[in-house]
Amino acid sequence: MNGQRRSLINVVATGVVVMTLVLLGLFWARCACSDLRHSLLSGVTGVIEIRPARLFPWEQPDDPNLTTASGVRAQMSPMNPLLAGLGVVHYVQRRLPGGPYSNVYRWGAEPSDPWVYYDASLGQMVYKGTDRIRKNDGTGTFRYFTYYAGPEGVSEAPDEKLGRFIAPVVDPFSLRPWVIYDSGLRGFFAIHWQERTITKGPELAAGDMHRPVQVGLLSKNLMSLRVDFLPASFKSRPASASSDAVPGEAESQRLTPVAVGDICSFVKRVLVLDASGRIDLLDVDTLEFVGEAGRLPIPATLFRSSTAVTPDDVAAYCVEPIVVSHHGASNSWTYAGCAAGALSRDATAMRLELFDPNGRLVTSKDTKLLRYTGTGNGQSPPRDTISSVRAAYFGVPGAPTLTAVKFALENLHPPVFLLSSYLAAPSFEATSAYRSLVLLPESFVAMQAGDIRAGPIHRFYIAGLLMLPAIGLVVLLASLVARDGMKVGLSKDARAIWIIGTVVFGLPAYITYRLTRPSIRLVTCPNCGQARRPDMERCHRCGSLWIVPELTPPAWRVVELPERAGNESSAPAQETISEA
């Protein structure tokens, strides 16, 4: 292996090592920045509450029996919600049995605990559990069973006749019945384990726009965001006062709204989340869509002003269905609407929306901060509110510094990756930003790429402006490389490659250059007289070879006339040559 090839391999190896370490360092610096930003916001934007819910007509403000009206609340985790997107957490959620993305839906260490999982090799759902059997003598005993379910039926043994599920999306919450959507078979199925039957819904038509991604309990990163229903409280009615109750009291006592995750067993409906962000209601008996229940809320972001969000666009969401029980009528429940909360990509804003039973928006609320006009003594009244996103980046004390640090860190990133982030940002899942080393979907440049208010040229122009510090940095580094390359004796081609490499990869390329640049003692070029490398054939400055044509002095001289007269007798030979 010659020296040049060895050197090239060394440069590439050093570059990979430096790139990995620099990207890791920048990643953790960005994480620390994000964590600090969240700590600035926590406590002031962690909760949104909508009360009264205005969902139940019997809860009138003038009802003297009503102490507190019902409402809904969205609560962000006190820990940084972005940590849920960290690679190791995401991995555990995806792979660990029982996690939200696992094929093992239920399991337990005890033998009596039910196990429900999808056996990919069989293409069938497996349910292992225990039944309590009553004997003739009145005593009870347990029976262990294992059921296998495919699209064509349920049996106690795996059977090809049961068919195969291809890509099932299940409701992990409710098992009676167990509703499954298979995106490969394009249809819904309801497994009735006790009866060992399966109901098959109609296949979605080829042109049908429904693309269900979640069934039943609709949530993402449940540890980051929770939505709760807050029931109303009424004055207790003394037994003796029942005769002189005020009008409306009887009705308020009769209907009690509750929020339940498993609405299936109450109202024979399940919520289905579509890939477009729409929330549909599915009838469990017919397995057909019976209406729209709402949409995922659009939390505020720094640049974006989207008209709809998909499940991939938000860091977390949670949908809480609400049902109403009618006292007196057994098993009489009605679907009353749902509350949906969503957390923005960078976890700086939350939005909570409340939908009526027909899927119409009743009310909504965003995270906002009060802006004070005083000098900081806390006595002056708040002037107005400010969006929590603006507050997180510019409003809260310390936020502008963090924003500047984040901006600086992003501009230290290799420009080629920053540009790629701009181009690829809209296709990234929201939480992937918290485990991405190379691309930065949460950078200002990438966030700006999703701003639908501006046209593509305007977006690119703004992105270019946001990348100006990075461009300035690489120009500076490239000029340093060019100057130093000349000084240490790099050839013209090598200098050009290093300059291009520095422009493309930025800081890591410059560090690689500094670590691998030749450290050879230079010698004086016999041609130009400047320092040149002794291991190169040609001088990198004048391009001459080592062997310079010998400087033989001319045999003639220019002699002035008086001198000639004075020296006439001493140099006859030279004179002869000069004349010749």
Partner 1 sequence: MLSLIGREVYDHLVYVLACCLVSAITIGVMILTSVSGIVQAAYVSSTILMLVLFVGLCALGAAQMYGDRANRISALLSTLAVTRSRILAARVLVGVLTLLASLIPVLIAALILLSLAALPAAFYPRMIWEVSAAVALTGFACYCIGLEIGWTTSKTWLILGSFLLVALLASLVFAKGPGLEAIAILLLFIAAMLVHTWHKFTSASF
Selection from 225, 251, 168, 219 nearest residue 321 by Cα: 219
Burial profile 260-282: b = 16 or more Cβ within 10 angstroms, e = fewer: bbbbbebbbbbbbbbeebbbbbb
Residues in Cβ contact with 173 at an 8 Å cutoff, skipping those fewer than 6 apart: 216, 217, 261, 262
Q: Would you call 114 helix, strand, or coil by DSSP?
A: coil
Candidates 13-21, 205-213, 448-456, 485-493 — which segment interacts with partner 1 by CB under 8 A?
Answer: 13-21
Residues 421-440 interacting with partner 1 (rule: CB under 8 A)? 435, 437
Does 239 interact with partner 1 (rule: CB under 8 A)?
no
Does 86 interact with partner 1 (rule: CB under 8 A)?
yes
In the chain, the amino acid numbered 294 is G
Choose, by CB under 8 A, the member of 78, 97, 472, 534 that binds partner 1. 97
In whole angstroms, how close is the CB of 493 to partner 1 at the nearest point? 21
Selection from 499, 475, 497 nearest residue 411 by Cα: 475
Q: Would you call 511 helix, strand, or coil by DSSP?
A: helix
Which letter does DSSP use for residue 236 in this model? P
Does 500 interact with partner 1 (rule: CB under 8 A)?
no
Candidates 91-99, 408-416, 442-450, 501-509 — which segment interacts with partner 1 by CB under 8 A?
Answer: 91-99
Sign of the dihedral through C-alpha 295, 296, 299, 304: negative
Candidates 10-18, 71-79, 345-353, 407-415 — which segment interacts with partner 1 by CB under 8 A?
Answer: 10-18
In whole angstroms, how close is the CB of 125 to partner 1 at the nearest point? 14
Does 146 interact with partner 1 (rule: CB under 8 A)?
no
Tokens of 430: 């929201």
In whole angstroms, how close is the CB of 427 to partner 1 at the nearest point? 17
Does 12 interact with partner 1 (rule: CB under 8 A)?
yes
Does 13 interact with partner 1 (rule: CB under 8 A)?
yes
Residue count, binding to partner 1 (CB under 8 A) = 32
Does 4 interact with partner 1 (rule: CB under 8 A)?
no
Burial profile 324-346: b = 16 or more Cβ within 10 angstroms, e = fewer: bbeeeeeeebebbbbbbbbbbbb
Candidates 23-31, 63-71, 252-260, 546-554 — which segment interacts with partner 1 by CB under 8 A?
Answer: 23-31
In whole angstroms, how close is the CB of 7 to partner 1 at the nearest point? 8
User: What length is written for the chain?
Assistant: 580
Residues 24-63 interacting with partner 1 (rule: CB under 8 A)? 24-25, 27-28
CB 259 within 8 A of CB 229: yes
Choose, by CB under 8 A, the member of 2, 43, 109, 377 that binds partner 1. 109
* Binding residues vs partner 1 (CB under 8 A): 6, 9-10, 12-17, 20-21, 24-25, 27-28, 86-92, 95-97, 104, 107, 109, 115, 117, 435, 437
